[in-house]
Amino acid sequence: MEQLAHSTNTELYSHHLPSTSFGGVMYMMFFGVIALALLVYFVYMMGRKQSESRDTDTENPTDILKRRFAEGEIGEREYDDALLKLKE
């Protein structure tokens, strides 16, 4: 009797268990490919934003020097020295 109840329970809820059939494997592969594509897309977009923010091709040396001083990369004395060299 107990075995009958167990088998009935298993049959009732078997449609909620993950399938190991070919269709189940295809769904897992499909969602895996989608997740991988989204990951690649987000990594690409992050790299693109970083390269745009670091684009120094349009900045002249004085602008770069001013930016570095403003960001605290260089001190005032180093800024003044570099600025004098650029004006020579």
User: Do 68 and 74 meet the contact criterion of CB atoms below 8 Å apart?
Assistant: yes
User: Do 63 and 86 meet the contact criterion of CB atoms below 8 Å apart?
Assistant: no
Position 26 scores a pLDDT of 81
pLDDT, tens digit, for every residue of 9-39?
555 555 555 555 667 778 888 999 999 999 9
Pair of tokens at residue 40:
């690649």
Cβ count within 10 A of residue 65: 19
Position 60 scores a pLDDT of 85
More confident residue, 60 or 6: 60
pLDDT level of residue 88 (50, 70, 90 thresholds): confident
pLDDT, tens digit, for every residue of 34-78?
999 999 999 998 888 776 666 556 778 888 899 899 989 999 999
